[in-house]
Homo-oligomer: A and B are copies of this chain.
């Protein structure tokens, strides 16, 4: 292997999340075998996406429009804002089809370890939106981790002066999950939050 464009391609691909050296080499060979049908189109798709995809200034979603398609959709419930950490979480909720309100992407979670403070997240924007008259509920759809829960606490404190109702996702047994494989914390929470059948 030389240090030319091939080596450079493999090195660049191997920096992508989830890809190591072996998978980068495999992808590079695959691309070189399909230069005109996949490799050049992919290059153009990357350039086009880099140019056209914007961050929505209202909610932080990624879309080719600003405001994004969700913020512009008048059929969606304007009284609910679902707060998520990342755009990928927004996508996960959208895939369920179970939610038809608005979103707010924080751009991360508070983390003492990684030095991420409130000013690094889009919390000010959320506060402004929460003060709008039409917003009645803010759903905190944050990870059930230490960082996720401290972020949820911080947001609850920040919005304490407003009249919105603050809710969070239910904790419990994942649908399809076997008790035997669940951690103690989840089982304890599921027991405490038990509902009548």
Chain A residues at the B interface, C-beta cutoff of 8 Å: 1-2, 4-6, 8-9, 12-13, 15-19, 23, 25-32, 35, 38-50, 52-53, 62-64, 69, 86-88, 91, 94
Contacts and interface: CB of A to CB of B under 8 A. Distances in A.
B47 A43 contact: yes
For this chain, the copies found in one complex come to 2
Nearest to A27: B16
A42 B5 contact: no
11 contacts: A5-B49, A5-B52, A9-B45, A15-B38, A16-B27, A16-B30, A17-B26, A25-B91, A29-B88, A31-B50, A40-B50
A53 B44 CA distance: 18
A87 to B, nearest CB: 6
